[in-house]
Amino acid sequence: MSDASPDPALFDKIVNLTKRRGFVFPSAEIYGGFRSTYDYGPVGVLMLRNVKDAWWRSMVQLRHDVVGLDAAILSPPAVWEASGHFANFTDPLVDCRNCKERFRLDKLDDPHTCPNCGEKDSFTEARQFNLMFKTHAGPVEGKGHEVFLRPETAQGIFLNFANVLQTSRKKPPFGIAQVGKSFRNEITPGNFVFRTREFEQMEMEYFVPPAEAAEWYQYWRQERFRWYLDLGIPESMLRLRDHEADELSHYSSGTADVEFLFPWGWDELEGIANRSDFDLSAHAEASGEKLDYFDPTTGERYRPHVIEPAAGATRTMMAFLMAAYDEEEVRGETRVVLRLHPRLAPYKVAVLPLSKKPELTGPALELLGQLQGRFMCDYDETQNIGKRYRRQDELGTPLCVTFDFDSVEDGAVTVRDRDSMEQERVPIDGLVDHLAARLDL
């Protein structure tokens, strides 16, 4: 357990930096913005993709027992009837009679005081509010044409269980992983991209023989916790919190959250749940399909139990940014640097000609072309070199390659390290391998 304390000032620093440097923009800003909806800019789209790729690498690429899936976002009501989302995917909503603001009762610090106007006992009775977005398919509206935007990616996995089993040659224990957008009509979105109505999830359903469920649950708890540490979140900002018995859903025999120390305190990044055979049984019963596994070697038929690690990509990207943010004094000035793991950094390398003169920009662009085949690179020829290094520090670029007047003569460039700021002269011949070894992607 960590004894670190939250840093409230970090919140504004991250919101400002991400706007200023092109990570995240408020959506529809030229029309005054669209509350709690965000667009990912030129740098943000790279980093978000890197977060998802790092997850995919660890969950699919480096394993023999997990396959991928990309299921539809639109789905018919039958799915959500069977999954229990119509009945249970609700939050308790209260209105303040005084200021008319709405709140999620279970997220209020004090259920008797309105956090907006401060009025005491001004809340209405709580009513259950379903979080799913509803729309209609085709030209006719109304009953029979309703469709839903998925509020989680998991159900698409359960619906394809039999398809994947038949086509992939996997047998339990095996998993199906999916990354994609989910939509929830959150009552109180907020804290920047922490809680939004449109967000990205990274979920995996791991199907196991029932007797092995407890063991695999422990395995995935540890495995998922380690993923965040491996990508550079310090242990002091991360904890694994087991749910109390009264927090567990009725079908779950164990749930743990990976929590991060956000500027407002500990909050969830990911949930790992032992879901028993709840989902497959619900869909088997409602659809009439056999969602079982038949083991031809033993002749045994059973319904697998499921361990689900469910993470948020957009929320996790913010946590990686917060964990990486650092300020230090360098020659009387504050240097802001994102000490991002190279795998997460939007750009791995920035190519910087020392001057805008064509004798430097020509060969620098040629060098850029050589490096781009291997790494996501930035190129910048504006301002003095010191300012350009600082800009790359704020983007988290691990290595800068500077092409100067000597480079024309000696065929070497200066490689500058983001974290130590140390510079090294490296021959252009062999530069790609040199950079690859240092980045260790």
Helices 313-324 and 44-56: crossing angle in degrees, nearest 10, is 110
DSSP string, 229-294: HHTT--GGGEEEEEPPGGGS-TT-SEEEEEEEEETTEEEEEEEEEE-TTHHHHHHHHHH-----EE
Instruction: Give CA–CA dist 350/364, Å, rounded.
Output: 11
CB distance 368 to 351 below 8 Å: yes
314 binds ligand ATP (CB under 6 A): yes
User: Which one of the spans 79-87, 168-176, 263-271, 332-340 is the region binding ligand ATP (CB under 6 A)?
Assistant: 263-271
271 binds ligand ATP (CB under 6 A): yes
Min dist CB 312 to ligand ATP, Å, is 2
How many residues line the site for ligand ATP (CB under 6 A)?
16
Name the nearest CA neighbour of 186 among 243, 256, 102.
102
Torsion of CA 12, 15, 19, 25, to 10 degrees: -140
Pick one of 164, 311, 322, 431: the residue that binds ligand ATP (CB under 6 A). 311
* CB proximity list for 323: less than 8 A, separation 6 or greater: 232, 233, 234, 237, 260
Min dist CB 329 to ligand ATP, Å, is 35
Name the nearest CA neighbour of 243 among 215, 204, 272, 284.
272
Pick one of 212, 268, 374, 441: the residue that binds ligand ATP (CB under 6 A). 268
User: Which one of the spans 26-34, 267-275, 374-382, 416-424 is the region binding ligand ATP (CB under 6 A)?
Assistant: 267-275
Min dist CB 71 to ligand ATP, Å, is 16
Helices 10-20 and 313-324: crossing angle in degrees, nearest 10, is 110
User: Which one of the spans 74-82, 225-233, 262-270, 323-331 is the region binding ligand ATP (CB under 6 A)?
Assistant: 262-270
- For ligand ATP, the closer CB: 106 or 121: 106
310 binds ligand ATP (CB under 6 A): yes
Measure CA 211 to chain center. 31
Pick one of 270, 378, 380, 394: the residue that binds ligand ATP (CB under 6 A). 270
201 binds ligand ATP (CB under 6 A): yes
Peptide bond into 172 cis (omega under 30): no
Pick one of 50, 152, 319, 321: the residue that binds ligand ATP (CB under 6 A). 152
Instruction: Give CA–CA dist 313/49, Å, rounded.
Output: 9
Pairing of strands 238-242, 254-262: antiparallel
- For ligand ATP, the closer CB: 107 or 438: 107
Min dist CB 271 to ligand ATP, Å, is 4
Min dist CB 155 to ligand ATP, Å, is 11
- Compose the 334-373 pattern: x for residues touching ligand ATP by CB under 6 A, - for all others: ----------------------------------------
Q: Residue number with the shortest CB distance to ligand ATP?
A: 312
- Compose the 176-195 pattern: x for residues touching ligand ATP by CB under 6 A, - for all others: --------x-x--------x
- For ligand ATP, the closer CB: 237 or 360: 237
Min dist CB 195 to ligand ATP, Å, is 4
CB distance 209 to 307 below 8 Å: no
Torsion of CA 340, 342, 347, 352, to 10 degrees: 100
Instruction: Give CA–CA dist 134/428, Å, rounded.
Output: 57
**Interface positions, 47-86, toward ligand ATP (CB under 6 A):** none
Min dist CB 69 to ligand ATP, Å, is 17
Instruction: Give CA–CA dist 63/66, Å, rounded.
Output: 6
Within 10 angstroms of residue 266's Cβ, the number of other Cβ atoms is: 16
Min dist CB 198 to ligand ATP, Å, is 8
Pick one of 172, 173, 304, 312: the residue that binds ligand ATP (CB under 6 A). 312
Instruction: Give CA–CA dist 325/234, Å, rounded.
Output: 12
- For ligand ATP, the closer CB: 311 or 350: 311
Tokens 């002749």 belong to residue: 299
User: Which one of the spans 210-218, 264-272, 325-333, 406-414 is the region binding ligand ATP (CB under 6 A)?
Assistant: 264-272
Measure CA 169 to chain center. 29
Min dist CB 154 to ligand ATP, Å, is 8
148 binds ligand ATP (CB under 6 A): no
- For ligand ATP, the closer CB: 154 or 159: 154
- For ligand ATP, the closer CB: 195 or 341: 195
CB distance 305 to 175 below 8 Å: no
Binding site for ligand ATP (CB under 6 A): 152, 184, 186, 195-196, 199, 201, 268-271, 310-312, 314-315
